[in-house]
Amino acid sequence: MKERYSRQQLFKPIGTSGQAKISERHVLVVGAGALGTSNAESLVRAGVGKITIIDRDYVEWSNLQRQQLYSEQDASEGLPKAIAAKKRLTQVNSSVDIQAVVMDATSESLAPLLKDVDVVVDATDNFDIRLIINDLTQKHNIPWVYGSCVSSTGMSYTILPQKTPCLQCLLNAAPIAGATCDTAGVISPAVQVVAAYQTTEVLKLLVEDYQAIRPSLVTFDLWNNQHYTMNVEKAKKENCPSCGVAPTYPHLSYEYQTKTEVLCGRDTVQIRPKHATESLDELVERLASFGEVKRNPYLVSVIYESYRIVFFQDGRTFVHGTNNIEKAKSIYYRLVG
């Protein structure tokens, strides 16, 4: 057992003292999909003292191509991802305290999980949750590492409260939104590169090597052999509502969050985003790859799998075919990103 981390301890920036710090730290991984499973496995192998994994979804066959902790049996049984991840990670390193939480990530559900957390890893699939993470970590002064990937591209950025621009700052300064895995697909190497950037930054934070933290936003396209780093230091804004001199943490407020409700007797969930993200014409183009699209001057509808999704001009969306809010939200984010 003494040799378990010997190669990691031979790496001078970590050493024996750094390994001792790692073994005492607590990391929260939000999302147990491709990025979440890759980060979690690397951190468990590195000997992080405690890891909490939160995810609302279950393992499906399409996950197995890139979500490395899961097996065919997990998909056959439809195990919740957090539970399946814990099962596998415990086999990897039984000395790590692994907490699996099966629930939707909201401002209310995430806040209690932040107690004693040293770093948060973003492994989510939508910006509603990321902006909630951003506000919560700013409010509680916890560093977090943003990451995303789609197609053969990816990006990562480390956010240090009171020091670096936050995600809200970057949304106005850098091109960090775009397609989704359900519209453009994703290859496993892109996942691994983003996760490698994220896990490395987490280790730097855990051993308190703040001088080594990468200050730039890194982006890449593996298929087209492109790699960029973007200096975003000037993106930080004094009047930012999330990290400025007088923060209000808007994304923790109800009016800034996506609203959902089950429509009585209709096997339908209504989703009301905080604002309409696209025009109906743009939606028609985006949804064409998912199924048969119909539109009139007031709405656009698409048949996706066994569901009919209707988008209204004011941004409201009906997901017909389920009364499960989490399932409806998952379908919604697959279609609109």
> Rounded to two decimals, what is the model's pTM?
0.81
Q: For 160-170, what is each residue's pLDDT tens digit?
A: 999 999 999 99
Nearest 5°: phi and psi at 164?
-105, 165
Tens-place pLDDT, residues 228-271: 999 999 999 999 999 999 999 998 987 677 778 787 667 898 88
Quote the CA–CA distance of 252 and 242 in Å, as a whole number: 10
Give the pLDDT band (50/70/90) at residue 143. very high
The DSSP element (H or E) to which 10 belongs, if any, is helix 6-10
**Domains defined along the chain, listed by start:** 6-252 (3.40.50.720), 258-336 (3.30.310.10)
Hey, which residues does 29 pair with through a beta bridge?
A: 53, 121
**What secondary structure does DSSP assign to 120-188, as a single string?**
EEE--SSHHHHHHHHHHHHHHT--EEEEEEEBTEEEEEEE-TTTS--HHHHHTTS------HHHH-B-H
pLDDT digits 0-9 by tens, 37-94: 999 999 999 999 999 999 988 888 889 999 999 999 999 988 899 999 999 999 999 9
DSSP letter for each residue of 229-281: EEE-GGG--TT-TTTSSS---GGGSGGGS-EEEEETTTTEEEEE-SS--S-HH
Token duo for residue 129: 């949750």
CA atoms of 249 and 255, how far apart (whole Å): 12
The single-letter DSSP state of residue 186 is B
Q: How confident is the model over 190-230, as pLDDT tens digits?
A: 999 999 999 999 999 999 999 999 999 999 999 999 999 99
Q: 252: which 2 tokens?
A: 């923790």
